[in-house]
Chains A and B, each alone.
Chain A
Amino acid sequence: MSTVPNPSETAAGDLVRLAMASSARGMAILDRDGRWLEVNPAIERMLGRSAAQLAGEAVQACVARDAPALAAGIGTLVAGNARALRMAVVFAHADGREVPATIDIAPMQAGDGSVAWLSVQVTEDAADALAQRLAATEAALASMERLQASFAHGVSHDLRAPLRAIDSFSSLLAEHVGDGLDETARDYLARIRGASARMAGLIDSLLELSRAMRASLRSAPVDLGLLVDWAHAELADADPEAARDARIDVQPGLQALGDERLLRQLLNRLLGNAWKFSRGGPVRIEVDGEQDAGRLVLRVRDHGIGFDVRYADKLFEPFQRLHGPDQGGGDGIGLAIVRCIAERHGGRAWARSEPGEGSTFFVELPAVPGDGQQA
């Protein structure tokens, strides 16, 4: 049969090869004995072998079972007794895996009308292909998570260390020169230290966001009132002056189903914002929730400076700020952490406000089953 030319070795052959290469389905040309002449990349992938490795090998040698039935079918086609063959086959992948597929074979005739070659199309069974794609995606995800973890580790260590040097040597320089520093020089050194402190805060916030993204979720009923009390105590410690007139009211018995550590982070961020943007008046914050169909919509309402609702969508994006530092604007990561934690719990976060009228932040979380339901 070696005198029969390979059809893809003709002038149009390059085009044929290009068409085959672009197909996601398996495509091949066999000689009349059922040996691979041309295979496309999809076939190479299904069998885990290169075109060069397959060349000259019979197709029936590549299946895990039913090789005689396949050989017989090909014989019928070559004898001119059938015009097409479709059968379910199980290919044997080079790594030992079985690849279930459907194979379609049709005869290709030479000039004299005899069957010279066979054209082949192979479709992988959908469920199996899906499972493979899922496995590949999971592997990619796992490797991305590993990368993210080592990235966070590097950031945590290698970006913070130089900041300590900047801050410390600025401080030591001021001490060392002592009275030799004029007002301007002291201002410059204070700015250097202020900037390094801000960047340290930003790095810590980014690490908190990265941990919120990666942390494994341990769900249990969580007493949100207790978390609010904790956050209140911490805010009062950090800002004793505002704490004297501050009031945070929590609806009694408020609870959600979630990861306590993450929900604590979420409430710290929301209450921290509400506290910060209450400047100019006494801090008044109300925390309550509404339950419906297994979901709790948590509400944190303040009476502070509020924000322009036109930018409400931007609030939860990292690095987006609606307020400058003079208005209490932070590093722009806090609400991204809130949204991330809400989404980790299968919920979402949104906000409403009127400038000067305060803001209300909403977070949807899983409710504790049976909680707050009427018997």
Chain B
Amino acid sequence: MSQKEILLVEDNPDDVELTRIAFAEAKVANSLAVVNDGAQALDYLFARGRYADRDPDDLPSIVLLDLNLPKVDGREVLQAIRAHEKTRGLPVVVLTTSTEPFDVEASYALGVNSYIRKPVDFEQFVWAVKQVGLYWLVLNHPRES
């Protein structure tokens, strides 16, 4: 299993806590980096602002992206990730509460790798996060950087 970080972009503290718990229950060992809005997510990925001392080549193994975010929303984050050479191949999974067809459509049009609706039921939520971890961190073979 790749031991690189997982970047979670999520503004709801309850969902951050639940995702943490779900990864722990799923025995995903990768550490979870959490940012609370789209602007911070881009600062993190491009090693600037408060993340200026990060190594810009040290990209997370996967980005879990909520869509409704303060400042820069999830779609814009996705757009920026796909627009830059360095981050173009980064696996991005939209992990959101919305199932509006418009959101699904827009996310795929912008090049998301996967779109997952967070279930309301806790056991189903843990199951979904476990599947994401299993697929993207174990099964999937990432691009060599």
Interface, chain A (partner B; CB < 8 A): 149, 152-153, 156-158, 160-165, 167-172, 196-197, 200, 207, 211
Nearest CB of chain A from residue B115's CB, rounded to whole Å: 14
- B15 in the interface (beta carbon within 8 A): yes
Contact: B97 with A161, CB < 8 Å? yes
Say what secondary structure dominates the interface of chain A. Answer: helix
- B12 in the interface (beta carbon within 8 A): yes
Nearest CB of chain B from residue A189's CB, rounded to whole Å: 12
CB contacts (< 8 Å) of B18 on chain A: these are: 164-165, 168
Contact: A171 with B14, CB < 8 Å? no
CB contacts (< 8 Å) of A162 on chain B: these are: 14
What is the total of A-B residue contacts with beta carbons within 8 Å?
Answer: 60
Contact of B98 among A153, A167, A168, A169 (CB under 8 A): A153
- B3 in the interface (beta carbon within 8 A): no
Nearest CB of chain B from residue A305's CB, rounded to whole Å: 29
Q: Which residue of A lies closest to B126 (CB)?
A: A168
CA of A157 to CA of B125, assembled, Å: 15
Contact: A153 with B103, CB < 8 Å? yes
Contact: A200 with B100, CB < 8 Å? no
- B123 in the interface (beta carbon within 8 A): yes
Q: List 22 A-B contacts (CB under 8 A).
A: A153-B100, A153-B102, A157-B67, A157-B68, A157-B96, A157-B97, A157-B98, A160-B97, A160-B120, A161-B118, A162-B14, A164-B14, A164-B15, A164-B18, A164-B119, A165-B18, A167-B121, A167-B122, A168-B18, A169-B14, A171-B123, A197-B120
CA of A363 to CA of B102, assembled, Å: 29
CA of A241 to CA of B36, assembled, Å: 46
- We find that the number of chain B residues with CB closer than 8 angstroms to chain A is 22
- B80 in the interface (beta carbon within 8 A): no
Contact: A171 with B122, CB < 8 Å? yes
Q: Which residue of B lies closest to A160 (CB)?
A: B97
Interface, chain B (partner A; CB < 8 A): 12, 14-15, 18, 21, 67-68, 96-103, 118-123, 125
Contact: A168 with B12, CB < 8 Å? no
CA of A168 to CA of B120, assembled, Å: 8
Contacts A161-B12, A161-B15, A164-B18 given; does A156 touch B98 at CB 8 Å: yes
Other contacts beyond A161-B14, A161-B118: 14, CB < 8 A = A153-B98, A153-B102, A156-B97, A156-B98, A156-B99, A157-B68, A161-B15, A165-B14, A167-B121, A168-B18, A168-B125, A169-B14, A197-B120, A200-B120
Contact: A164 with B97, CB < 8 Å? yes
Contact of A172 among B21, B68, B118 (CB under 8 A): B21
CB contacts (< 8 Å) of B99 on chain A: these are: 156, 207
Q: Which residue of B lies closest to A153 (CB)?
A: B100
Contact: A164 with B98, CB < 8 Å? no
CA of A167 to CA of B120, assembled, Å: 7
CB contacts (< 8 Å) of B123 on chain A: these are: 171
CB contacts (< 8 Å) of A167 on chain B: these are: 120-122
CB contacts (< 8 Å) of A153 on chain B: these are: 98, 100, 102-103
User: Could you say which of A152, A156, A163 has the most chain B C-beta atoms within 10 Å of its C-beta?
Assistant: A156
CA of A172 to CA of B18, assembled, Å: 10
Q: Which residue of A lies closest to B68 (CB)?
A: A157
Contacts A164-B14, A164-B18, A168-B18 given; does A152 touch B122 at CB 8 Å: no
Contacts A157-B68, A172-B21 given; does A164 touch B120 at CB 8 Å: yes
Contact: B120 with A156, CB < 8 Å? no
CA of A160 to CA of B21, assembled, Å: 19
CB contacts (< 8 Å) of B118 on chain A: these are: 161, 164
